């Protein structure tokens, strides 16, 4: 089958990574899958023309509104993968919600990354619950073997000889407002003055250039907080594995790949208590959830103070990811769902 796969392919975003992974699953089943960026199309007519011209037999799209609406004029069967912000944010828009309902009605199937996301969608469109399948994101990590932690810290701006005595927290995200990387900067800076062994490194690409400049200016004024450019995945995973903990301070998440990757790598997670994070992080079991900056500091200090808690969280989180976020299970699910497009 020749499939068109629509997604927002802004470089280095979660949607882009997810789309590449799902495309691999589809092609492993012997199908042809062409990935296209929604930004390349102005309206549904453009997509309908492309489908007719290229003779696509089916389609898949990530994001109910941004990608799904572009398939409304198409005459081929299609499936939808919820992106997260569509169900968390876009559904609140009075003009967007009816369009999203039309897309879901026309879709042969829909995929939600969690039970919570499926339940949220069912609350708005109760008659379509039977076509929504839950498939958590499949996770795989590859930490580079030639990674030098001391050199990485020095390049980032942390020039401390006693690197084994440091507690380095990493926040991995594209620099855009929804990720809210500045949420903890001030309290972390105050904590570093009190305890010079703690550092926060924000790692990620500049998705929103204006906001990235704002982040850079704020980080320069802070003590113990550093900004690092994006790294190749193997180097990033190696840095995450050497860090004390991974931090997520997003305002909204579908399902954070960085959080799941940290769990897989055996790194404890401290995540902001939002629905997308709470769906995968169980407080004091597979990670720690904080509701405000001060609570983040209190929980971080506790993680340093209680090695047994850290060890328990790491063990539980790793088991959870291996069981619930298997790439093999994800591959089987998408290959089976494609049968709905015949």
Query: Beta strands of the chain (E only): which ranges?
Result: 2-7, 32-37, 58-62, 78-81, 109-112, 132-134, 167-172, 198-203, 225-228, 245-248, 269-272, 288-290
- pLDDT for residue 339: 94
More confident residue, 253 or 270: 270
Q: For residue 195, what are the contacts with CB-CB under 8 A and spacing of at least 6?
A: none
CA nearest neighbour of 206 among 188, 187, 228: 228
Q: What percent of the chain has pLDDT over 90?
A: 85
**What per-residue confidence (pLDDT) applies to 88?**
78
Q: How far apart are CA 239 and CA 231, in angstroms?
A: 9
Please determine, for residue 13, whether its predicted confidence score (pLDDT) is greater than 70. Answer: no
Taking only the tens place, the pLDDT of each residue in 41-74 is: 999 999 999 999 999 999 999 999 999 999 999 9
pLDDT digits (tens, 9 = 90+) for 175-213: 999 999 999 999 999 999 999 999 999 999 998 999 999
- pTM, to two decimals: 0.85
């Amino acid at each position: 089958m020749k499939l068109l796969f629509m997604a927002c392919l802004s470089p280095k975003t979660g949607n882009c990574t997810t789309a590449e992974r799902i495309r691999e699953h589809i092609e492993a089943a012997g199908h042809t899958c062409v990935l296209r960026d929604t930004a390349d199309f102005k309206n549904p007519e453009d997509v309908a023309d492309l489908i007719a011209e290229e003779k696509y037999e089916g389609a898949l799209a990530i994001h109910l509104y941004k990608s799904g609406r572009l398939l409304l004029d198409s005459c081929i069967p299609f499936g939808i993968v919820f992106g997260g912000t569509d169900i968390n944010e876009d559904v609140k828009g009075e003009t967007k919600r009816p369009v999203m309902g039309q897309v879901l009605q026309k879709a042969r199937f829909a995929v939600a990354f969690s039970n919570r996301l499926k339940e949220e969608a069912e609350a708005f469109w109760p008659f379509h619950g039977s076509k929504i399948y839950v498939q958590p994101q499949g996770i795989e990590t590859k930490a580079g073997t030639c990674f030098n932690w001391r050199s990485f810290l020095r390049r980032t701006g942390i020039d401390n000889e006693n690197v084994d005595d440091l507690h380095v927290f990493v926040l991995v995200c594209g620099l855009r407002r929804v990720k809210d990387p500045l949420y903890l900067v001030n309290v972390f800076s105050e904590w570093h003055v009190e305890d010079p062994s703690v550092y926060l490194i924000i790692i990620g690409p500049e998705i929103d250039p204006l906001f990235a400049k704002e982040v850079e200016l704020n980080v320069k004024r802070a003590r113990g907080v550093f900004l690092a450019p994006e790294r190749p995945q193997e180097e990033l995973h190696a840095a995450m594995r050497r860090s004390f903990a991974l931090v997520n301070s997003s305002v909204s998440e579908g399902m954070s790949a960085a959080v799941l990757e940290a769990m897989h790598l055996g790194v404890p997670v401290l995540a902001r208590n939002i629905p997308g994070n709470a769906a995968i992080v169980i407080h004091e079991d597979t990670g720690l959830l904080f509701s405000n900056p001060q609570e983040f500091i209190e929980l971080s200090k506790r993680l340093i103070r209680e090695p047994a808690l850290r060890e328990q969280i790491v063990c539980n989180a790793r088991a959870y990811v291996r069981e619930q976020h298997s790439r093999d299970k994800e591959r089987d699910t998408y290959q089976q769902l494609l049968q709905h497009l015949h």
